[in-house]
């Protein structure tokens, strides 16, 4: 199947990059434990989208353990990025109660702030989500991904005007990362739509004011004419008869 060549390519990439393949085997062993939990004897290999994990482990073990990088320690910078990715993903995809249990408020690490920011947003606690995103930016103001999560939370909370600044910083800081730039574009569009709505309301209000002013002017003119008629001296009946009677 295609998974054999794909696994072999992954092992080759790790070796070329000088990264140990221990993590790759650990991942497949985790999947294997899940298979055991469900009962391997009940799994029909011909009904699966992927080979059984035991087969993949058997095919990869010799290649990975023979690689020069097998005993190479993990790169601390990669581990740092990996922990951040895991925390962010948990905040996005796991139920908030799960995330908040794994990263309680007593945990003040970057990873905890990262996970809790979106978890609180999903759970409907905007003030707490705001505080967590601000804690991230305070720790690393120039990190585009911390600016991104703050901007996304603000945008989804219905505050596109407030989201524009952090999303612009995230877009520029990430060198126009397509996903971040797309979110920035959504914020700009939302802001334009709001401005159009405001301008439309203003035009309607101005039209109403103009119509009211015209009605008031017409009413004033009618009143003025009526007052003029009332103020004009009226001729007596005798004077009228005198002028109209024949001589």
From first to last of its 247 residues, the chain has per-residue pLDDT tens of: 688 899 999 999 999 999 999 999 999 999 999 888 877 666 777 777 888 899 999 999 999 999 999 999 989 999 999 999 999 999 999 999 999 999 999 999 999 999 999 999 999 999 999 999 999 999 999 999 999 999 999 999 999 999 999 999 999 999 999 999 999 999 999 999 878 876 766 666 666 666 665 666 665 656 566 556 666 665 555 554 445 445 4
SS3 content of the chain, % helix, strand, coil (to 5): 80, 0, 20
CA–CA dist 27, 40 (Å, integer): 17
Residue 141 φ/ψ, nearest 5 degrees: -60, -30
Looking up tokens 């990975």 gives 64
Region of residue 50 (phi > 0: left; psi between -120 and 50: alpha; otherwise: beta): beta
pLDDT at 18: 94
207, containing H or E segment: helix 178-231
Dihedral in degrees, nearest 10, Cα atoms 225, 227, 232, 237? 100
- pLDDT for residue 175: 95
């Amino acid at each position: 199947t295609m998974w054999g060549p794909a696994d072999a390519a992954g092992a080759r990439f790790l070796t070329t990059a000088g990264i140990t393949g221990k993590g790759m085997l650990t991942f497949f062993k985790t999947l294997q434990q899940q298979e055991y939990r469900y009962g391997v004897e009940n799994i029909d290999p011909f009904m699966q989208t992927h080979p059984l994990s035991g087969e993949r482990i058997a095919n990869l073990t010799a290649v990975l353990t023979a690689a020069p990088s097998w005993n190479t320690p993990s790169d601390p910078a990669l581990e740092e990025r990996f922990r951040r990715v895991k925390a962010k993903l948990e905040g996005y995809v796991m139920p908030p109660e799960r995330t908040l249990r794994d990263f309680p408020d007593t945990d003040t690490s970057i990873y905890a702030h990262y996970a809790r920011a979106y978890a609180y947003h999903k759970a409907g606690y905007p003030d707490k989500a705001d505080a967590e995103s601000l804690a991230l930016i305070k720790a690393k103001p120039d990190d585009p991904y911390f600016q991104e999560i703050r901007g996304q939370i603000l945008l989804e909370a219905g505050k596109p005007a407030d989201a524009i600044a952090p999303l612009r910083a995230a877009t520029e800081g990430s060198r126009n990362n397509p996903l971040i730039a797309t979110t920035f574009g959504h914020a700009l569009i939302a802001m334009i739509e709001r401005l159009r709505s405001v301008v439309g309301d203003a035009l309607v209000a101005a039209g109403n004011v103009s119509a009211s002013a015209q009605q008031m002017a017409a009413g004033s003119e009618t009143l003025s004419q009526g007052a003029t008629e009332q103020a004009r001296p009226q001729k007596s009946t005798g004077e009228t008869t005198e002028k109209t009677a024949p001589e």
